[in-house]
Amino acid sequence: MSDGRREPQPQISMTQQGGSLDGRGEVRPVPEEQVRSYYGRPVLKEPVWTWEIPWYFFTGGLAGASAPLALAADLAGNERLARSARFGALGGAMVSPVLLISDLGRPGRFFNMLRVIKPTSPMSLGTWVLSAFSGAAGLAATTDVLGIFPHARRFFEGVATLLGLPLATYTAVLVADTSVPVWHEARGELPLVFASGAAASAGACAAIFTPIEDAAPARRLAIGGAVAEIGATELMKHRLGKFLAEPYEKEAAGRYEKLATALSGAGAAVMTLAGRKSRAATVAGGAMILAGAAFERWSVFKAGFQSARDPKYTVFSQRERLHSRHRAEDEG
């Protein structure tokens, strides 16, 4: 038309860039440039969850991992440690539902959670588990405080342990069981991250509230958990690949992750070096480990939002998948 060439249009560039992506065997430039989208709008909806949820991941983990710690300590005859862990479990179990309910759009309808048992819904199962766990942990703590029914207490501890294990890990399944790519694609490693974080926080919490002389297993659990948490996170990011790991490394998620690693690492170091000698060091190290575990959950939480917000994560990972499927078809 008229006098010549049109300039490329920045305002609608997202939809205009690039050609078809599934031409086979074509040279593939960096993701950002080849991802097409609708005005850069997200394909997915960002979750609507608010601050309560990462804290719930944390308290749930703390509670869940505290139960086996309590049982083990009880079995091992470390009554002081067992009691701390028992109260850790109870505390976590008491705070968790409050957080959950507060996050609901209709808190008054919390009971509807117990309307069905949905095997397909981690949240449904998780709610049942949490409810049962709270009961068991509560009874274990009550019998402890009242000093009655020692056998029953051990039974309750056993139940709480059985429920605590899923409680500490199901939240990872919960987020992985969504279409958010950085959660779903991390489904293999996220439970490990959460479990190690749970172990670290259960250990740290118990260590803080237990006299040094009785706290060694808790310290070891805290240190081991913290180290495992750092390792599992790295493993997760490695498995996700450079592109999908990106959301974990930038913006809020990235900041939280750095803090988590630093605090967990530092906490573990403090505990290792001074935990045996100084109660204060234990408290400080424990607090750092607890904070590290919390920040790790926040990092995971935020990364999910960040990846849902930007269509490139959804589109690119799916395009990649299509590609490899096509390649496989070509070869097969």
Partner 1 sequence: MSIRDFIPEWSVPRQIKGADRWALGPAAQSRHQAQLTPRTKKADRVVKSVCPYCAVGCGQRIFVENEKITQIEGDPASPISRGRLCPKGSATRSLVQSPMREYKVKYRRPYGTEWEELSLDEAMDMIADRVIKTREETWEDEDEEGCHLHRTLGFAHLGGATLDNEENYLIKKFFTAMGAIQIENQARI
Partner 2 sequence: MSDSHPIIPGSGITGASDAYNIEGRETPETRPLIPLGQRYYAEEKPRMGFFTDTTVCIGCKACEVACKEWNNVPDVIGELTGQSYDNTSSLGANTWRHVAFIEQRKPIKMQQEAGLMTPGSEEDGEFRWLMSSDVCKHCTEAPCLDVCPTGSLFRTEFGTVVVQEDICNGCGYCVPACPFGVLDRRQEDGRVWKCTLCYDRQKDGLEPACAQACPTDSIQFGPLDELREKANGRLEMLHEAGVDDARLYGANEEEYGMGAFFLLLDDPEVYGLPPDPEVVTRKFKSLWGAAAVAAGALVAGVAAAFAGGAR
Partner 3 sequence: MGSNMAENHPVGFQWVVEARLRGAKIIHVDPRFTRTSAMSNLHVPLRAGTDIAFLGGIVNYILENDRYFRDYVVHYTNAPVIVSEEYADTEDLDGLFSGYDPESRSYDASTWQYVGTTVSGAAGQREMGGITGEQAHYAQAGELGHGGEPPEMDRTLEHPRCVFQILKKHYSRYTPEMVEEICGTPKELFLQVAEALCENSGREKTSAFCYAVGWTQHTVGVQYIRTAAIIQLLLGNIGRPGGGILALRGHASIQGSTDIPTLYNILPGYLPMPHAHQHQNLEMYVERNSAKSGYWGNMKAYMVSLLKAYWGGAATAENDFCFDYLPRLTGDHSIYPALMGMIDGWCKGFFVMGENPAVGAANGKLQRLALANLDWLIVRDFSEIESASFWYDSPEIETGELKTEEIGTEVFFMPAAAHTEKNGSFTNTQRLLQWHFRAVEPQGDCRSELWFMYHLGRKVREKLANSTDPKDRAILDLNWDYPIEEESEFEEPDAEAVLREIGGWDENNEPLPSYLPIKADGSTTCGCWIYAGVYADEVNQAARKKPYWEQGGNWVAPEWAWAWPMNRRIIYNRASADPEGRPWSERKKYIWWDEEQGQWTGYDVPDISPTKRPDYEPEAGAVAEDAIRGDKPFIMQADGRGWIFVPAGLTDGPLPTHYEPHESPFENALYGQQSNPVREVYPRPENPYNPSDGDPGARVFPYVFTTYRLTEHHTAGGMTRTVGHLSELQPEMFCEVSPELAKERGLENDGWATIITSRTAIEARVLVTDRVVPMKVQGRVVHQVGLPYHWGSKGIVTGDSANDLLGLTLDPNVHIGEYKAATCDIRPGRRPRGPALVRLVEDYRRRAESHNGGG
Query: Candidates 24-32, 105-113, 181-189, 231-239 — which segment interacts with partner 1 by CB under 8 A?
Result: 105-113
Check binding of 116 to partner 1 (CB under 8 A). Answer: yes
Nearest distance from C-beta of residue 120 to partner 1, angstroms: 6
Q: Closest approach of Cβ 45 to partner 3, in Å?
A: 19
Nearest-angstrom CA–CA distance, 78 and 119: 37
**Is residue 324 within the footprint of partner 2 (CB under 8 A)?**
no
Verify binding: residue 208, partner 2, rule CB under 8 A: no
> Which structure tokens are listed for 147?
């000093």
Task: Select 23 or 258, whichever has its Cβ closest to partner 2.
Answer: 23
Question: At closest approach, how far in Å is the CB of 131 from partner 2?
Answer: 12
Query: Distance of alpha carbon 263 from its chain centroid, rounded?
Result: 16
x/- string (CB under 8 A) for partner 2, residues 24-63? -----------xxxxx-xxxxxxxxx--------------
Considering the rule CB under 8 A, would residue 111 count as an interface residue with partner 1? yes
257 binds, among partner 1, partner 2, partner 3, none (CB under 5 to 8 A by kind): none
**Residue 43, Cα to own-chain centre: how many angstroms?**
23
Interface map 1-30 toward partner 3 (x if CB under 8 A): xxx--xx-x-x-------------------
As a whole number of angstroms, the distance between CA 88 and CA 92 comes to 6
Q: How far apart are the first and last CA of the chain?
A: 48
Phi-psi label, residue 18: left if phi above 0, alpha if psi -120 to 50, beta otherwise: left
Q: What is the DSSP letter of 277?
A: T
Candidates 67-75, 87-95, 237-245, 246-254; binding stretch for partner 2 (CB under 8 A)? 67-75
Among residues 43 and 269, whose Cβ is nearest to partner 2? 43
Residue in the structure block whose two tokens are 């068991």: 136
Which tokens hold the place of 76? Answer: 């091992």
CB of 256 to partner 2, least distance (A): 19
- Give the CA diameter of the chain: 94
Q: Which is nearer to partner 1, 124 or 272 (CB)?
A: 124
Q: Report helix angle 311-331 to 279-309, nearest 10.
A: 70
- As a whole number of angstroms, the distance between CA 180 and CA 95 comes to 27
- Give min distance, CB of 3 to partner 3, in A: 6
Alpha helices by DSSP H, listed for 147-249, are 150-176, 181-184, 190-208, 216-249
Look at residue 20 and give the partner it binds from partner 3, partner 2, partner 1, none, a contact being a CB closer than 5 to 8 Å depending on partner kind: partner 2
- Asked if 105 touches partner 1 (CB under 8 A), the answer is no
Report which of 192, 200, 156 is spatially closest to residue 172, judged by C-alpha positions: 192
Residue numbers at the binding site for partner 1 (CB under 8 A): 108-109, 111-112, 114-120
The binding site for partner 3 (CB under 8 A) comprises 1-3, 6-7, 9, 11
